[in-house]
């Protein structure tokens, strides 16, 4: 499975930061009714938590992490999370880990997607944005919303500095669990944004690939840089 580079350029300079860019979500699935139908059917199986059907929809070589062999059996293990496959100190968390994996799969497949130059269909749409080498991808986030308020302080009553829509922002000190995150726009403006609108650029993405028989399959579901 080929993992493509993100192909829409984000212009960020190191010292003098570039102008802001927006990347509104556009779902290209309707370009091919067969991929739209496959996604709809797969989502129904995911919502039903039908492990057998979801596993059957995967490629024989489905890519699942940057350090494993992948394949349907590994995918099934990720979907079921048998406690015995975890270290003893994590076995009590099997159900929570299982629910998280299913929810991430459902959320990712539900996102607008795009066709790459090989005809593969990738979700979410912002995975096609290229980050410059000067940006640590683990500090980059996509603002998933329209007119989200950038505030001067981490408070709903703080002054509004800007309205953010579908932009890449940098959060060098992201604090999990905090309501607001301190972020920097690509034009250098700094402020605070609600965490719920920040999607990590290293988050889960998925790809559908058409098999030799003409059937779509889930061939990538992976997270990381």
Domain boundaries, the chain: 22-129+202-222, 131-200
* Fold equal for 22-129+202-222 and 131-200: no
Strand spans (E) along the chain? 8-9, 58-63, 114-115, 121-123, 129-130, 140-143, 148-151, 160-164, 168-170, 180-184, 190-194, 198-200, 205-210, 216-222
State pLDDT tens for residues 193-218.
999 999 999 999 999 999 999 999 99
Three-class SS state of 141 = strand
pLDDT band at 16 (very low <50, low <70, confident <90, very high): very low
Q: What is the mean pLDDT of residues 5-23?
A: 58
Q: Which residue has the higher pLDDT, 7 or 145?
A: 145
Q: Would you say residue 25 has pLDDT above 50?
A: yes
Yes or no: domain 22-129+202-222 corresponds to CATH 1.10.260 = no
Strands 160-164 and 148-151, by their bridges, are antiparallel
Whether 2 has a pLDDT exceeding 60, the answer reads no
Give me the pLDDT at residue 84, please: 87
The rounded percent of the chain whose pLDDT value lies above 90 is: 79
The predicted-structure confidence for 49-69, as pLDDT tens digits, reads as follows 999 999 999 999 999 998 888
pLDDT at 115 over 60: yes
Q: Domain spanning 131-200: which superfamily?
A: SH3 Domains (2.30.30.40)
Question: Among residues of the chain, what percentage have pLDDT more than 70?
Answer: 92
- At 86 the pLDDT is 82
């Amino acid at each position: 499975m080929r993992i493509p580079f993100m192909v829409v350029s984000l212009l960020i300079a190191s010292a003098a930061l570039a102008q802001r860019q927006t990347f509104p979500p556009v779902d290209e699935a309707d370009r091919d009714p067969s991929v739209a139908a496959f996604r709809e059917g797969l989502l129904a199986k995911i919502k039903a938590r039908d492990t057998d059907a979801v596993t059957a929809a995967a490629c024989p070589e489905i890519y699942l992490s940057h350090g494993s062999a992948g394949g349907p059996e590994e995918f099934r293990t990720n979907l079921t999370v048998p406690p015995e496959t975890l270290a003893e100190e994590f076995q009590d968390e099997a159900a929570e880990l299982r629910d998280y994996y299913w929810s991430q799969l459902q959320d990712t497949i539900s996102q607008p997607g795009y066709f790459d130059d090989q005809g593969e269909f990738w979700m979410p749409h912002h995975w096609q944005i290229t980050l410059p080498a000067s940006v640590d991808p683990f500090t980059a986030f996509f603002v998933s919303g329209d007119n989200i308020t950038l505030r001067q302080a981490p408070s709903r009553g703080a002054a509004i500095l800007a309205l953010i829509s579908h932009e890449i922002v940098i959060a060098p000190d992201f604090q999990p669990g905090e309501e607001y995150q301190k972020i920097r726009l690509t034009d250098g403006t700094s402020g605070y944004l609600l965490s719920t609108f920040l999607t990590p650029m290293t988050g889960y993405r998925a790809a559908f690939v058409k098999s030799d028989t003409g059937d779509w399959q889930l061939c990538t579901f992976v997270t990381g840089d």
